[in-house]
Structure 1
């Protein structure tokens, strides 16, 4: 490798991990740092064109169960990943390695520690994820997105720094658009999406929900909805039969701009979703992904709801009729949506990407990262 100073970022191949890594990469490249990415085979499937000098696919696996066979399979894959990452780091010689969660970050960070390279993890959620929980004791420092992070206690909290969850430049650009309050008789722009993995629940629930709204509200709706490829035709047909103007697609590359256009967002509560909603400043109904081992999305949604920027409704207690009733009341009060938009904006951390870049450079300089001590 050339003599340009470099930092390696390690991120699993989901949007929730890749997008904050992407945001940090943008900022560090702007500051003259070369970035290399270590990821799994899903790498760049979201069309992010990750701003890295090189992208390395590192063997990894997620523990599917506690069966001896799965444990052995996962252990072998992670060991192979550590070996491969150890070899790559010999050539790249980065000043630091920073992981963004998910099991694909485990091999690069373990290999970096073996080579004596400063390491850190960034936790996007209000709950320390499983892989990050395993790594927290091994790394030099921990960056957090929330003032309080569940499972980050005692000695681990001593090396934790609050940076916020960084968002990409395209999100910061969208945040410049002022929230346009809906009028009592104008169009209602509704955005529905389920995060990078999609949400069949919304495909099943939303057409029934919106059909149950009053005629005068339904005819004003302008719906943009993300749906899985296999659900698109039936969702489009359902909206067409209900006479609802809807744009349904499996992926929107300009999602931040669509968030900025929306009067109301209905979504899951992944960390990147919550970060983008707050930086842009849009009101939302959040339906956390159920059955998550650590209830990370529920914690994320509850934190935003407590600020007044969202309404959190758990899926187990949500029916199309209940959601329709909630929507009918909200859409009849544009002022309440505008208040929630302001509260969401106040909860945002647009400075998070600068904070995390400062944190990364301090780590690379072997200085104590100290943006703000996490509680």
Structure 2
């Protein structure tokens, strides 16, 4: 048994693949510990680690010199904290999943001579991973190609983006049959806090505009911000639509598997789960990202025929309503898109990544 430290920022996009790897490595008998930031309380309650260590971190802002200096000082302090933790833990390997919360502990591991693997979830290598790449023994990629990896190509290996056990458990669920005239249509809508707000404004109005006969067949499950629940529910009530609203769904993988169509952001974990489950989606990338990572993630599914990108800046209730009417009127097209999405899934990603971790750990033990 080896002790392995996983490093992931406190957001779902980074924590979910780390969680998947932790589940797999624990099945193989290893002790897993997590290093993360203060946001872990929102996501990491169920993280399968024997210990969780919170390391100070910050995201530098080149646009604000004061914040840049402050972030640098906090990152330096985080390196010192992580150095002390890692000296006590003495892991065989560390694995980082991107984001600046990984920066302090990964640098500290490098200083201590502990070998490390970086995993990149997105189709564009993130800034933190690019800054850490020269310290890594291996860089595991989710997409081929991944932009901005050219300087580190000799270290890169394609493994895919690991998905959690709860996703893998329903990944064999067949695409639900959809009667072209009378069958119930399951529409699932979810996103992070910003996505929930935008979708809460757009989707109910879009659904209200589609033909009444089609609207009557809809069964909608939608994530909303708590402050939007009453307003969104009222719009759907007036439109006479069957809807379930909540600010959080703890069984989201199951609901994804039951869906005929998904509307969501295109974060790396979302795209990986849609592909693993084989579900078509209208993908609305988070606007304003420096590297346009969500757009590049969404392009992978769109190019394969498994999804459709909708630019938030130009998306309106009318255009979304037209798109929904067209898609729901073409059951065969939706089923084909589901198959195309599934063709991009990599259900063995977590096993591949775990194999690389074990090989590196064995080299360290044998050295």
Match of residue 332 from structure 1:
329
Question: Where does residue 174 of structure 2 map in the other structure?
Answer: 178
Residue in structure 2 matched with residue 207 of structure 1 by the alignment: 204
Aligned to 2:153: 157
| Alignment correspondent of 2:342 | 345
Change in Cα spacing, 1:114 to 1:130, as seen in structure 2 (3 Å) is: same
Give the gaps of 5 or more residues in structure 2.
none
C-alpha separation between the residues in 2 aligned to 1:24 and 1:192? 27
2:22 aligned with 1:25, yes or no?
Answer: yes
CA distance in 2, matches of 1:57, 1:197: 26
Aligned-pair CA distance for 1:306: 0.4
Rounded to whole Å, the distance in 2 between the matches of 1:48 and 1:233 is 28
* Conservation of the 8 A alpha-carbon contact between 1:44 and 1:50: no
Alignment-derived partner of residue 100 in structure 2? 103
- Give the distance between the partners of 2:164 and 2:72, measured in 1 at CA: 34
Q: Distance in 2 between matches of 1:268 and 1:292?
A: 13
- What residue is the counterpart of 2:37 in the other structure? 40
Aligned to 1:122, what secondary structure does the other structure show?
strand
Q: Identify the structure with the greater helix proportion.
A: 2
Of residues 204-213 and 38-47 in structure 1, the stretch that sits farther from structure 2 once superposed is 38-47
The aligned counterpart of 1:274 is 271
- Superposed CA deviations along residues 95-114 of structure 1, whole A, max 9, x for unmatched, are 01111011100011000000
Give yes or no for contact 2:2–2:361 (8 Å, CA) kept in 1: no
Q: 1:296 aligns with which of 288, 293, 297?
A: 293
Query: Is the counterpart of residue 225 in structure 1 residue 248 in structure 2?
Result: no
Deviations 1:149-190 (A, max 9, x none): 110003x01100111000011101111211112112111100
Give the CA deviation at 1:55. 0.1
Q: Quick check: 1:8 aligned with 2:30?
A: no
Q: How many pairs does the alignment contain?
A: 363
Q: TM-score, normalised by structure 2?
A: 0.96
Q: Secondary structure at the match of 1:174?
A: coil
TM-score by length of 1: 0.94
Shift of 1:47: 5.7
Could you say what the CA RMSD is over the residues aligned between the two structures, in angstroms? 1.3
- Whether contact under 8 Å (1:124, 1:144) holds in the other structure is yes
Task: Name 1:373's counterpart in structure 2.
Answer: none
Matched residue, 1:59: 56
Give unmatched runs, 5+ long, in structure 1. 368-375
Deviates more, 1:240-249 or 1:117-126: 240-249
Please report how far the alpha carbon of residue 199 of structure 1 lies from its aligned counterpart in structure 2 after TM superposition.
Answer: 2.8
